[in-house]
A and B are shown apart, each in its own frame.
Chain A
Amino acid sequence: SQQGEEDPQALSIQEGENATMNCSYKTSINNLQWYRQNSGRGLVHLILIRSNEREKHSGRLRVTLDTSKKSSSLLITASRAADTASYFCATDAVQGAQKLVFGQGTRLTINP
Chain B
Amino acid sequence: ETGVTQTPRHLVMGMTNKKSLKCEQHLGHNAMYWYKQSAKKPLELMFVYSLEERVENNSVPSRFSPECPNSSHLFLHLHTLQPEDSALYLCASSQDFSNTGELFFGEGSRLTVL
Contact = CB atoms under 8 A, between A and B. Distances in A.
Interface of A: 2, 4, 30-31, 33, 35, 40-45, 48, 88, 90, 92, 96-105
B56 interface: yes
A44 B110 contact: no
13 contacts: A2-B42, A4-B42, A40-B108, A42-B106, A43-B103, A45-B102, A45-B103, A45-B104, A97-B57, A99-B45, A99-B48, A99-B100, A102-B42
Contact of B108 (A33, A42, A98, A101): A42
Contacts of A105: 42
Contact of A103 (B4, B42, B105): B42
A95 to B, nearest CB: 10
Nearest to A46: B102
Contacts of B92: 42-43
A10 B57 CA distance: 32
A102 B42 CA distance: 6
A45 B101 CA distance: 10
A100 B56 CA distance: 12
Interface string B2-25: 001010000000000000000000
B43 A102 contact: yes
Contacts, number: 60
A88 B37 CA distance: 12
Interface of B: 4, 6, 40-43, 45, 48, 56-59, 88, 90, 92, 97, 100-108, 110
B56 A40 contact: no
B92 to A, nearest CB: 8
Given A40-B88, A42-B105, A48-B101, 17 more contacts: A4-B42, A30-B100, A33-B102, A40-B108, A41-B108, A42-B4, A42-B92, A42-B106, A42-B108, A43-B43, A45-B103, A97-B57, A97-B58, A98-B45, A99-B48, A100-B100, A100-B103
